Structure 1
Amino acid sequence: MRSIRAAAAGAVTLSLALAASACGGGSATGGGSDDSPKTLTYWASNQGASVEADKKVLKPELEKFEKETGIEVKLEVVPWSDLLNRILTAATSRQGPDVLNIGNTWSASLQATGALLPWDTKTFDEIGGKDRFVDAALASTGKQGEDPAAVPLYSMAYALYYNKQMFADAGIAKPPATWDELVAAGRKLAQDGKGALGAEGSNLSENVHHAYVFARQHGVDFFTDDGRPDFTDGHAVAAVKQYVDLMAKDKVIAPGNAEYAQNQSVSDFAKGRNAMLLWQSAAANLTSQGMDPGAYGIAPVPVQSGAPGPGTQVNSLVTGINIAVFKNTDNLSGAKKFVKFMTGAEEQKILNKAYSSIPPVEAAQSDPAFATPDNKVLKETLARSAVAVPQVPAESQFETAIGTAVKELFADAAAGRPVTTQSVRAALEKAQTQMPAA
């Protein structure tokens, strides 16, 4: 999912949604299609630099859909800070849109509410078949063994962006491939209390994404094989500490980044205040902030040793956006037509170019736009060294609990309070108590 969002909904809200699992989404009185086969409501996630930027991208495409089908799409671009709460409220109240974007890491949690249309083989066939989509994207559409709760729309992966001139000025010949190399480069780059690496320390989603990747590199994933949370395993503790230590111990992340939650680290990088950035498919965001594409390079996210690959050399989540339909929509036929349109090969090229993401539809990936150096790194990451987050019903609570724990640890680091193995374990123990019983 896109990283500009801040905190998602808490465990209490999701518990209410789970308790109301019989409720569908529908649009009865909540701004839906008003029983009209000629209208649809669509909640789009904020993918670009602003809500207005997204409207400029999407409105011409929605007009194209209306011209083709006669169906008007009423668009609302929802900021990430509001999106999950809005969706969960819609799931329980039966007042929501017909079609919506969801962060792909939420798929299993929202699937558990029972509000979203399941995409069985027959339903997939209505939009051109399941085999149009790449396997990595399909892996983040819901719980394994169940029909997907959504359809892949935009695929993204994390990469390391680095300022070429700042690297050259510091005498650094190539981007770091390991965390030790990143720390060494960062210490060369850091000057006058500034950080060499940007971070969004108050952004829960960014926090949990990086914590999860570090955990996989340490050989754990915060859950046991049967889906129970296991946040205090020694390797999980070491993983979270290693990430927070980039500020607390290694001093390559500036203390002020502990308060960042809404793209500030991207802005810092674009303006030359930081030399490195870990981000998802950042090209469009950087360009919108005035950074020349030739001014930065892109490399895989560092690993513990060696090169990115499967197993403990994981270096990214399979991030991105899925498109879903509320089960109780008043215009199911139109909603499926809209999903088919948005995931068509030509439309996939247009939308993913606009958002610097990778099409999850294989036929669209042949476009030369997705063969740039940036996209080559992202495609190789998705194919070789990215993993889906745990597809468990409590994934949303996991994001909130771990994201908050890391936020509080960054706050400690920024304030000069010690970040120790004991304090990290205590933070993760607290996070685990916030998870629902199995």
Structure 2
Amino acid sequence: MRSRTIEAVAAFALFAIGTVACGKSGNDAPSSPSPSASSAPAAPEPASVTLTYWASNQAPSVEDDEKVLQPELDKFEKQTGIKVKFEVIPWSDLLNRILGATTSGKGPDVLNIGNSWSASLQATGALLPFDDATLARIGGKDRFIPASMSATGAPGQPPASVPLYGLAYGLFYNKRLFADAGVEKPPSTWAELIAVAKKLTDPQSGRYGLAIMGASYSENAHFAFMFGRQHGASIFDGKQPRFDDPQMVSGVKQYIDLLGVHKVVNPSNAEYVNDTQILKDFAAGKAGMLMIQSYAAAAIEQNGLARDAYGVAPVPLPDPLPANGKRVNSHVAGINIAVFEDSKNRDAALRFVEFMTSPEEQRILSAAFNSLPVVTAAYADERFNTENIQVFQKVLAETAESMPMIEETAQFETLVGTAMRDLLAEAASGKAVDDAAIRAKLTKAKQQMASGK
């Protein structure tokens, strides 16, 4: 297993640098270990067990995450006698930390991963497969939301992880700015989105219709996937990249044009690597709308915009859809929880996964982190019956599509997302970015993937 891990990680690591914002995103993958390795009862463990847990940064700050998690881990220890030593790792560091652990074999017992990494990390062989027997030990597959379970690993193989926090994209909008501009309801089509954004844009006062994270390669790649699907694109044919197909060019242009053609995005947004500034701009009334995942609500409110001062709607779709276009306005976003294959505390680790994905903990954690519960039973809680949460639930259930669950998806995110970062920078400088310019960048990204450079 270790040699397989090193080979797979070496390929994956070529593209695994920078920030991945899954939570704040193969048929010939190596076969999983035999059922006896993953589902056989673990040997009895010492009475005193301490698990190590790498948690992802879900709250506006690492300190906020710690305040949420510590009482729940104390509760788990009281119930089971199992201690959990945890570390909240920022998204800018998490993937590289995981890759280092997969090669060294010195990883935590339990860890969070961006769900779009599932197939890529699965191919390393470093994560415990959740075969039917292992799933049964944590409560069974059927208790999870089907959409969230679609982003847990390569098709035809036991999942490499299980869902922990569900997320989906939505359109946040400032109700006061809408009212001041005479806009009575959120846009439901892409043409309406552009029209509303133009009404809200006033460069002289520093206000724009939309704010984006133009230098975040992962965020860019999410929109390339979503808008590409709206135009009928398939980013892979099997495992062969189709980044520069006309449909993908059109999808990417739909996003780039927000800044370059329609000028409803502040050019400075081309430099934003994370969400910190756009959330501040939205809360301060400098941006009328945001297309962002559901977790953003907490930070928006921490930045001073009251919960009743903004609304949420689905990200608008083109109307009519282009030929062969799909009604996709979010990828199946979220964070999964996994167990390291090398864990010496496998039984305790699985008990912890069962605890974290239990209906009670899903209600507590999802409410604290503004995520969507990933188990059906948690939705009985009235906290998840608000209008905004119901928008995200509907998107996740009906118009979200999983990123391709193949090893190469991580390469797509890095290469295409970086190409879009460069295109947005060109648009921000005043350079025209047309179909030919976009196609050239996407062709280069495809060639880079083919060459492994």
Please report the TM-score for the alignment, with normalisation by the length of structure 1.
Answer: 0.91
Query: Partner of 2:307 in structure 1?
Result: 293
Distance in 2 (alpha carbons) for counterparts of 1:22 and 1:128: 24
Distance in 1 (alpha carbons) for counterparts of 2:233 and 2:46: 48
Q: CA deviation at 1:433?
A: 2.0
Q: 2:177 aligns with which of 156, 160, 166?
A: 166
Query: Partner of 1:117 in structure 2?
Result: 128
In structure 2, give the amino acid aligned to 1:285.
Answer: A
Q: 1:340 aligns with which of 341, 354, 379?
A: 354
Change (3 A) 1:387 1:177: same
Equivalent residues in 2 for 1:288-367, closer than 5 Å: 288-305=302-319, 312-367=326-381
SS of residue paired to 2:54: strand
Query: Do residues 375 (structure 1) and 389 (structure 2) align?
Result: yes
Change (3 A) 1:437 1:327: farther
Distance in 1 (alpha carbons) for counterparts of 2:403 and 2:166: 14
Distance in 1 (alpha carbons) for counterparts of 2:253 and 2:319: 18
Change (3 A) 1:200 1:170: same
Q: CA deviation at 1:306?
A: 5.8
Query: Partner of 1:248 in structure 2?
Result: 260
Change (3 A) 1:422 1:10: farther
Query: Partner of 2:6 in structure 1?
Result: none
SS of residue paired to 2:208: coil
Q: 1:276 aligns with which of 258, 278, 289?
A: 289
Query: Partner of 1:30 in structure 2?
Result: none
Query: Partner of 1:209 in structure 2?
Result: 222
Unmatched segments (≥5 aa) in structure 1: 1-8, 25-33
SS of residue paired to 1:159: strand
SS of residue paired to 1:279: strand
SS of residue paired to 1:400: helix
Distance in 2 (alpha carbons) for counterparts of 1:434 and 1:348: 41
RMSD between aligned alpha carbons?
2.4
Query: Partner of 1:221 in structure 2?
Result: 234
Equivalent residues in 2 for 1:61-80, closer than 5 Å: 61-80=72-91
Query: Partner of 1:56 in structure 2?
Result: 67
In structure 2, give the amino acid aligned to 1:379.
Answer: Q
In structure 2, give the amino acid aligned to 1:129.
Answer: G
Distance in 2 (alpha carbons) for counterparts of 1:15 and 1:163: 37
Q: 2:165 aligns with which of 150, 154, 157?
A: 154
Distance in 2 (alpha carbons) for counterparts of 1:401 and 1:300: 27
SS of residue paired to 2:92: helix
Q: CA deviation at 1:436?
A: 4.9
Q: CA deviation at 1:242?
A: 1.3
Change (3 A) 1:15 1:273: closer
In structure 1, give the amino acid aligned to 2:13.
Answer: T
SS of residue paired to 2:318: coil
Moved over 3 A (4+): 9-12, 20-24, 34-37
Query: Do residues 13 (structure 1) and 26 (structure 2) align?
Result: no
Change (3 A) 1:198 1:10: farther
- Is the CA contact 1:11–1:397 (under 8 Å) kept in the aligned structure 2? no
- Percent identity for Structure 1 against Structure 2: 52
Distance in 2 (alpha carbons) for counterparts of 1:357 and 1:45: 13
Change (3 A) 1:259 1:124: same
Q: CA deviation at 1:283?
A: 1.7
SS of residue paired to 1:290: coil
- Is the CA contact 2:283–2:300 (under 8 Å) kept in the aligned structure 1? yes
Distance in 1 (alpha carbons) for counterparts of 2:94 and 2:31: 21
SS of residue paired to 1:40: strand
Distance in 2 (alpha carbons) for counterparts of 1:410 and 1:339: 40
In structure 1, give the amino acid aligned to 2:172.
Answer: Y
Equivalent residues in 2 for 1:379-418, closer than 5 Å: 379-418=393-432
In structure 2, give the amino acid aligned to 1:368.
Answer: E
In structure 1, give the amino acid aligned to 2:343.
Answer: T
CA deviation digits over 1:12-45, x for unaligned, max 9? Answer: 62589x9x98999xxxxxxxxx999510111111
CA deviation digits over 1:241-260, x for unaligned, max 9? Answer: 11101000000111000011
Unmatched segments (≥5 aa) in structure 2: 1-8, 17-25, 34-44
In structure 2, give the amino acid aligned to 1:218.
Answer: H
CA deviation digits over 1:27-69, x for unaligned, max 9? Answer: xxxxxxx999510111111001011110011011111111111
Change (3 A) 1:306 1:173: farther
In structure 2, give the amino acid aligned to 1:150.
Answer: S
SS of residue paired to 1:312: coil
SS of residue paired to 1:435: helix
- Is the CA contact 1:23–1:113 (under 8 Å) kept in the aligned structure 2? no
In structure 2, give the amino acid aligned to 1:250.
Answer: H
- Is the CA contact 1:22–1:113 (under 8 Å) kept in the aligned structure 2? no
